[in-house]
Structure 1
Amino acid sequence: MLNSSFEFFPFMKKAISIGIIVAAVAVGIGLASPLFYERQIDEPLPVALNKIEEGLTLEKFTNMEDSAQESLVQKMPEKTKAMIMEEMAKTESQVSEEMSDDSVSVLKTGEFEGLVGHKAMGTAKTIMVGDATYLRFENFEVTNGPDLRVYLTPGGDVKQGIHLEKLKGSKGDQNYLLEGIDTDTYDTVVIYCQPFGVYFGQAMLS
C-alpha cells in the first residue's frame, strides 16, 4: 500500500505542474488577446488630449497660435495625432463666397487632387477683378483636418511657398486675395495641415 501511494505521488506532482503551466499559458493568451489589446489603446480623444495638457480640447488645439501648437505636437503620441485626424475627417466646414462676373478676367486655372490618402476636388483659379487679383476655389471639397492652411507654392513645396491664410472651409466656393505674388513662380496651390506637416491636396495653375 505504501509503495502504490509512493508510485502515485510523482504522477500527481506532474499533473499539478501541467495544470499550473496550462493556467499560466491561458492567462498569457488572455493578456495578449486582441480584446485586451483594444482595451489598452481604445482611449477617447478628449482623455488623450487632456493627458497632454489639462483642459485641452480639439477646438482649442485647432485654434492655437502656431508656436503653442508646435510645442504640443512635439510631445503628442502618434496615436493621438491619428485620432485627431480621424475625428476632423468626420466633419466639414462649409463656405460659399460669391464673385461678381462683372469685369472678371480668369488668368490661370487648375484642378485639385488629393495627397497622402486625402480627398481633394474642385477648381482653383487666379482671377483679376478690377485692379485686384484673387485665388478662387470653385466646387471645392477636401478632407477636413486640424488647422488647414492655403499656400501658394513653387511646384508644391510649402517650405518655399507663401502662406495666404487659414482655409475658410473644407467645402464650398471661396476667395483669397493675392497681393504682389508672382503666380508664374508660385504656380501650385497647396492645402496643408499646419500642426502635423501633412499635405492634403494641391492644384497646379496654368
Structure 2
Amino acid sequence: MKTILSLFTLFLLFTSCEVEGELTRDVVEEEISNEAVLKYSGIFIPTSGINVQGAVKIYEQNNTYSLKLDNFSISSGPDLKVYLSKEDSPSEFVNLGNLNPNATYSIPEQVNLADYPYVLIHCQQYNHLFAIAALQPN
C-alpha cells in the first residue's frame, strides 16, 4: 500500500510541474493595426547585472488588449517570460508567454489591466527577475 501511495504522490508531483496556466497564450507575431489605441506604456529598468533597453506598450482595439515590446533588447537568459504583474516582483502575475521581442502578446479578456501595473521579464527556470516596467496610462 505504501508503494502505491508513494507512486501516486510521485506521479502527481511530476505532472503538476511546469504546467502553464490557462491565461498563458501562445505568442503571435502580428502588427498592431492603425486603429489600435495606445492605452499604457512603460520603460524597462534592469535588475542588477542585467542589460536592458526598450519600452512596453499596451494597445486596445475592439475591446481587446495587446502588449508589444518597443526597441527592446535584453541580456540573454534561459526560459525568459513576459509577465503582467500586480507588484514589481513576480508574486501575483499573468504569464503572457515566452519572451520574443518581435511578438505581440494577447492579454486575456478576464485580466483587468488596472490591477496589473507592471510588466516583468522573468527567468522562470531560475526564478530571477531580469527587468521591470511600470505602466503609465496614456
Counterpart Cα distance in 1 of 2:35 and 2:62: 7
Higher percent of residues as strand: 2
Amino acid at match of 2:102: D
Quick one: structure 1 residues 107 and 118, their matched pair in 2 at CA, closer, same or farther if it must change by over 3 Å?
same
Secondary structure in 2 aligned to 1:184? helix
* Equivalent residue in structure 1 for 2:39, among 104, 107, 118: 107
Counterpart Cα distance in 2 of 1:192 and 1:66: 20
Amino acid at match of 1:119: N
Matching residue of 1:155: 87
Q: Say if 1:111 and 1:124, in contact at 8 Å, map to a contact too.
A: yes
CA-atom RMSD, angstroms? Answer: 2.0
Quick one: structure 1 residues 66 and 166, their matched pair in 2 at CA, closer, same or farther if it must change by over 3 Å?
farther
**Offset at residue 143 of structure 1 (A):** 0.8
Matching residue of 1:67: 17
Give the greater-gyration-radius structure (CA): 1
**Offset at residue 174 of structure 1 (A):** 2.5
Q: Identity percentage over the alignment?
A: 25
**Offset at residue 156 of structure 1 (A):** 1.5
Higher percent of residues as helix: 1
Secondary structure in 2 aligned to 1:164? strand
Matching residue of 1:39: none
1:166-186 alpha-carbon deviations (Å, 9 max, x no partner): 112xxx432110012111111
Q: Which has the higher contact order (CA 8 A, sep 6+)?
A: 2
Matching residue of 1:116: 48
TM-score by length of 1: 0.50
Amino acid at match of 2:72: F
Consecutive unaligned residues of structure 1, counting only runs of 5 or more, are 1-64, 69-96
Consecutive unaligned residues of structure 2, counting only runs of 5 or more, are 1-14, 19-28
Secondary structure in 2 aligned to 1:156? coil
Counterpart Cα distance in 1 of 2:105 and 2:38: 14
Corresponding residue pairs, total? 111
**Offset at residue 205 of structure 1 (A):** 0.3
Matching residue of 1:177: 106
Matching residue of 2:133: 203
Matching residue of 2:72: 140
